[in-house]
Structures are given as structure tokens and as C-alpha cells.
Amino acid sequence: MSRCLKCGGSGFKIKYDPETKEDTAYPCNCRLDREKKDTIRTKLVRACIPPKYWEYDLDNYSNCFVGNSVIQDANSFNINKLKGIIDDPTYFIENYDVLWIWGTTPNAGHTSLAVILATSLLEHKYKVRFLRMQDLIASFTDFEEKKDFFKYLEGFDFYLIDDAFDSNRCIASGDYTRIQLFNWLSTAVSNNKKFICTSKVDIPKIDKQFEQSKNVLLKSYISMEFQGVIKK
């Protein structure tokens, strides 16, 4: 990290105050920026967002595909749409329950995109909780912790569900888990909670085993497809 030229790295600027006839220290902008970063980091930790996704923004996301005009063209419409929600989430919040970020190709950075939005929501003072779909499903059968965990989840405004309803990765064993999942989803939606999901499939293509949950998601959603690069 380079040292700030304005304060020499001390974090304070010294100005003579003619009233007190003393030098007074004022926080430098570099210090204020650092404090802002620390605040958002604390929020990212509380949201349980893995640090490997913290550093992305929409610009460096788009830069990942420089030189690949096919992907850039395919994604640009939805990048702009997502940018609109990042800049002002109110319209989404007032009109939709679910933002579905998906694509069949790997390495499209779906989770990074979801985290970019989540970070902006945290900056707008919304409470967000990151959940891997597999962990969410496992929580329904963790009978000791279950009650406390779902009570704690009620304190959030948004749930970011990563790898949502990917039938290759998340195995919901048995009807019990599927019914619990459906109940949790529909209760959350009726309590005005919002969902940001990443997935390999669009909502209408969700596996039959999750039919009930799928119908909850289909009620009010925005779907955005993002393509990636198939690594050979």
C-alpha cells in the first residue's frame, strides 16, 4: 500500500486553529476511506460471504472477458440491468422477491456478481446472509441447531443462495427436507424477505423434486443469464 501524500500516512492533517491558537488534527480522507472499508468488511464477515469474492466490482468483472466479444455482447444487457439494481435496489425490492443469476457455462462468475450486488445492499444498510444451498439443506436436518439457526436467519432482509437448486450438487434427501425447504421459502417470501440466487439452471428448469419451491420462486422474479468461458 502506498503512503498517502496528504498526511504522510499518519491518517491526520494538522491545521492551525486561530481560535484555540493551537495545531489541531483532522482526520485525512485516506483515514475516512479506510474506516469505510473496515465497516463494509465487518458487514461482509457478518453476511458470511467468503473473502475470495470480496474484491470484485462490475468493472473488473467485465474486464475478465476483454477480448471475448461473443461473451461480452451476450452479457452486456444483463450487466446493465444488474447495474441498475446495484445503483438503486428500491425498484427491485418493491416489485420482486427473487433475483436469479444463472448460466449453464462454468466460470461465468455468477457468485461474484451476486456478491457485488450483496455488497451494495450492505452499503445501503440492508442485512444480507450468504448461504450455500447444500448448507441450507443440511440445516433442516440438524435438529439440535435448527430452531436457533432459522430464528437467527429471520434477522436478515436478503438471502444470497449460492448454487441454488442445482440437482447435481445439492441432494435434498427425502420429502421431509423438501417440505421444510418449501415452508421456509414461502414463509420468508410472505415476510417480505428477498432472495438473490445463483444457479446453473433457470427457475423454470429446476429439477422436479423441488416443484413446490419452484412455484414459490416463479411468482415474482427477475432472471439474468450470464455466460462464461468453457475451459478445455
Q: Which residues bind Zn ion (CB under 5 A)?
A: 4, 6-7, 28, 30
- Minimum Å gap between C-beta 9 and Zn ion is 7
- Minimum Å gap between C-beta 20 and Zn ion is 23
CA distance 194 to 96: 8
- Minimum Å gap between C-beta 33 and Zn ion is 9
Nearest CB to Zn ion, comparing residues 9 and 106: 9
Q: Which of 147, 224, 159 is nearest to 185 (CA)?
A: 159
CA distance 92 to 112: 19
Residue 14 falls in which region: left (phi positive, over 0), alpha (psi -120 to 50) or beta: beta
Nearest CB to Zn ion, comparing residues 4 and 189: 4
Nearest CB to Zn ion, comparing residues 32 and 171: 32
Nearest CB to Zn ion, comparing residues 24 and 220: 24
Residue with C-alpha cell 452499503? 123
- Minimum Å gap between C-beta 222 and Zn ion is 41
| Residue type (1 letter), 92 | F
Tell me if residue 218 falls in helix, strand or coil.
Answer: helix
